[in-house]
Amino acid sequence: MLHFVVVGILVLVVSALTYFGLDAAHLLPIPASAQAGEIDWMWNLQLIAMSFLFSLIVVPMFYSLIVFRRKKGDTTDAQHIEGNTRLELAWSAIPLFVVVFFAYLGAGNLADTIRPSQNAMVVKVRGLQWDWKFEYPEYGIATTELYLPVDKAIVLKMESTDVIHSFWVPEFRVKQDLVPGRVTELHITPNRLGDYKVRCAELCGTSHYSMEENVKVVDNEKFSVWVAEQQEIAAQREATPEGRGQKIYESFCNSCHSIDGSIIVGPSWFNLFGSTVELEEGAPVTADEAFLIESIRDPKAKIVRGFASQNMPAFTFTDEEVENIVAYIKTLR
């Protein structure tokens, strides 16, 4: 009986030390949404359970190795034990009960996390290889950074233009896949001011590692000022063809084509108009309006040398949108 008492005390002590040690390590980033509270509470329960189970295995094992080790000179056989039916039933039934209990808590936690909020602000999210785009239908603006007002319920309506992506801001805790051909939703209520990062948590291609954008949680006053600034910028862009072309570029094209001469995925647009372009097959051509229009409508018609392995996503632009894109390319000098 003494051994059971000693092992029991050691299990409790090691469990406590393991739990507080892991808790002090700050395994999770700071919580920054209302949903994070419920999730962190669930994680804390699991951490307690993991610490106890770890101690329940490790402590008896090391205690047995030390206390019941074969003494020097002892050549007798060990005691033969057939088994213990009650013990075997107990260590089968108790874990089953614990798993069902955690499943019940998890189901309730999930229901609270995905429950729609009343009067939530809609933000449309589009994921593509390898970038994020955000649109605010209520305000008529689109950006490459996600601005959110603090303590305001948000519903993200998300879609992908190519492969499966996954929207994940670690501080918000919640995560949701973007599936081509479907609109998925994610409900969040940011409750901590600060700057964060949205990352893709689904392996989506060669530049998956760089698919991240800024997320800013600001107070309501700063959010209103930001919205007014974006609306003014949008209005100015809509006034000229090159401005409208820039808007299209930022919404669809900037994840593959740079405007500073660097190479992201496809050819850069910097100094492109009027330049001589080397092709994979055939003689060099001049990047005039006809070439640019043809390349936008049919990217495989004339492939620029060095980019044969790249595959431009299929976009359907109107004649006016194509003209606007070309007008914008002309300004990139």
- Per-residue pLDDT at 297 exceeds 90: no
C-alpha to C-alpha distance for 332 and 273, rounded to whole angstroms:
8
pLDDT digits (tens, 9 = 90+) for 58-86: 998 998 888 888 788 777 777 777 778 88
Angle between helices 34-67 and 85-114 (to 10 degrees): 160
* Cα–Cα separations (whole angstroms), residue 90 to 81, 93, 207: 18, 5, 50
User: Greater confidence, 234 or 157?
Assistant: 157
- Per-residue pLDDT at 261 exceeds 90: no
* Cα–Cα separations (whole angstroms), residue 284 to 78, 271, 274: 86, 16, 12
pLDDT digits (tens, 9 = 90+) for 50-60: 999 999 999 98
Name the pLDDT band for 291 (thresholds 50, 70, 90).
confident
Q: What pTM did the predictor assign? A: 0.69
Q: Give the CB-side neighbour count of residue 260, counting CA atoms within 13 A.
A: 3
Rg (CA), the chain: 29
Residue 63 burial (CB count, 10 A): 15
| Predicted pLDDT at 158 | 92
